[in-house]
């Protein structure tokens, strides 16, 4: 039997029929929908290269079955900005050289975008004050981004980029 699911990906509704209900969200994106921006590093939840947002929360798409996301809103790296119109975080990564080989970058970008949003939404409970201003220490950024590994160890520049974008 085929498993029919519908996902809203980066604002566009996409339907797909899966023969096998064990297809991960990552493989559904890359192989069934030909959206290869999301990367497969370890395929078992260790590296964060496959990070996407599901209903606004970041997840490792290699650990999640596509059928579990029927009806969900998914944001991938392709949905963050355009080459001619980068998101503030993408522009900050470029400005700070927040990558070397670039393989982890889509996951870093999606993860940090979601993380900054989470903090902005929860900020009133953290401190009172200007909701638009988020200031994170480098240790906090590293902790909150600890699910995203970079084998080139470009961490210092990644942290610089995120700190700038979170301001
Ligand atoms: Fe999913 Fe590494 S590919 S965490």
Tell me the per-residue pLDDT of 49-90, one tens digit each, with 9 for 90 and over. 999 999 999 999 999 999 999 999 999 999 999 999 999 999
60 lines ligand 1 (CB under 6 A): yes
Q: Look at residue 39 and give its three-state secondary structure.
A: coil
Distance, in Å, from the CA atom of 120 to the CA atom of 127, rounded to the nearest integer, reads: 11
Distance, in Å, from the CA atom of 37 to the CA atom of 162, rounded to the nearest integer, reads: 20
Beta bridge partners of 73: 8
Residue nearest to atom 4 of ligand 1 (CA): 45
Nearest residue to 106 via CA among 144, 145, 148, 147: 148
Topology of domain 3-79, CATH: Ubiquitin-like (UB roll) (3.10.20)
| CATH 3.40.190.10, domain 88-166, yes or no | no
17 lines ligand 1 (CB under 6 A): no
ipTM value greater than 0.90: yes
Token readout for 41 is 């590093």
Q: pLDDT tens digit string along 23-52?
A: 999 999 999 999 999 999 999 999 999 999
62 lines ligand 1 (CB under 6 A): yes
């Amino acid at each position: 039997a085929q498993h029919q699911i519908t996902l809203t990906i980066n604002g566009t509704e996409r339907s797909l029929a899966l023969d096998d209900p064990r297809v991960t969200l990552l493989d559904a994106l890359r192989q069934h929908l030909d959206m290869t921006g999301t990367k497969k590093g370890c395929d078992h939840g260790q590296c964060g290269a496959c990070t996407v947002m599901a209903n606004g929360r970041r997840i490792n798409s290699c650990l999640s079955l596509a059928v579990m996301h029927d009806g969900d809103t998914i944001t991938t790296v392709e949905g963050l900005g355009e080459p001619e119109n980068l998101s503030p975080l993408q522009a900050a990564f470029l400005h700070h050289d927040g990558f070397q080989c670039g393989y982890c970058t889509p996951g870093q970008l999606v993860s940090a975008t979601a993380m900054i949003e989470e903090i902005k939404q929860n900020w009133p409970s953290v401190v009172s004050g200007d909701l638009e201003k988020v200031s994170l220490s480098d240790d906090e950024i590293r902790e909150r981004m600890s699910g995203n590994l970079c084998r080139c160890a470009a961490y210092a520049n990644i942290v610089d980029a995120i700190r700038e974008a979170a301001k």
